[in-house]
Structure 1
């Protein structure tokens, strides 16, 4: 069994995919994005899967893809924003170098403005994002070894902070 160098979790629009690619480049590994895996495997977009088969079907598929990536990939894994909702995915993350990329609502709203690819954030963006985070933030924190804020940082700066976090003490320990 192989173990990822790093696993990035966080809400939609926080920059997990971009940061994963930069981290992979800087560490001489490869990046794997589970949302991209789903599109490749199914031949359908995440939005289309949600529309045609619903969120429960998508979450089950997302868990299967995430579990495979966590087992098979030795580089950097970027999990879909809702992957931590599935208890099996949270269990698969135990003991792995998981970094929660945290962001403020304004940062994510600016990044996703006009982007229709986030099915849970299509209407009343701010209200839906805050509601989503009230449920997911505790889940992200429960699986994270470290937390890195993306506020006011470029993807390269976030990647630097992730690398520093991976070599520092886990969340909740004294520095």
Structure 2
């Protein structure tokens, strides 16, 4: 069993919205590892960060990605920081991984001041730029395909993903 495709990218790239539309178009289910983590922990990601710290969250994330890669056959959306773990990057080898690439201005516009994104609570624009800069090489490392979402509609992105997978 293996996901049909895996979506990676920073906050605001469109993983959830593109993932929902892709799954519907392909006639498969969407699984989001962030939702899996919240279900397992019994609390929101923000609360995990506050109560347990980022290292605890990252371990839950690593386990959630490993389980989803083994169990899910549809579209899989990973949290923006999942590629930070070397074990996760290794596990993604051999899968069809789509990096949804987004520019800073579009990402900020989509994320805004979303309080459900704990790493963006302090100075969201600066934090998002830092995350984009730090994680871009990791997204590129795992990607089979890169699709730019900047300035594009969900349908345009979905059509390009379908052309490449």
TM-score range, shorter chain: over 0.9
Structure 1 residue 127 and structure 2 residue 126: aligned? yes
Contact 1:24–1:30 (CA under 8 A) maintained in structure 2: yes
Which residue number in structure 2 is paired with residue 114 of structure 1?
113
Tell me, in whole angstroms, the C-alpha distance in 1 between the residues paired with 2:6 and 2:129: 23
Structure 1 residue 153 and structure 2 residue 152: aligned? yes
Contact 1:32–1:75 (CA under 8 A) maintained in structure 2: yes
Tell me, in whole angstroms, the C-alpha distance in 2 between the residues paired with 1:159 and 1:5: 14
Which residue number in structure 1 is paired with residue 11 of structure 2?
12
Tell me, in whole angstroms, the C-alpha distance in 2 between the residues paired with 1:162 and 1:98: 10
Tell me, in whole angstroms, the C-alpha distance in 2 between the residues paired with 1:77 and 1:148: 16
Structure 1 residue 94 and structure 2 residue 83: aligned? no
* Alignment of structure 1 residues 53-92 onto 2, 5 Å: 53-92=52-91
SS at match of 1:114: coil
Residues 139-167 of structure 1: CA deviation (Å, up to 9, x unaligned): 0000000100001111222111111121x
Deviation at 1:129, TM superposition (A): 1.2
Q: Unmatched 5+ residue regions in structure 2?
A: none
Contact 1:148–1:165 (CA under 8 A) maintained in structure 2: no
Residues 100-148 of structure 1: CA deviation (Å, up to 9, x unaligned): 0000111011111131111111122221111112211000000000100
Which residue number in structure 2 is paired with residue 172 of structure 1?
none
Structure 1 segments of 4 or more deviating over 6 A? none
Q: Unmatched 5+ residue regions in structure 1?
A: 167-175
* Number of residue pairs aligned between Structure 1 and Structure 2: 165
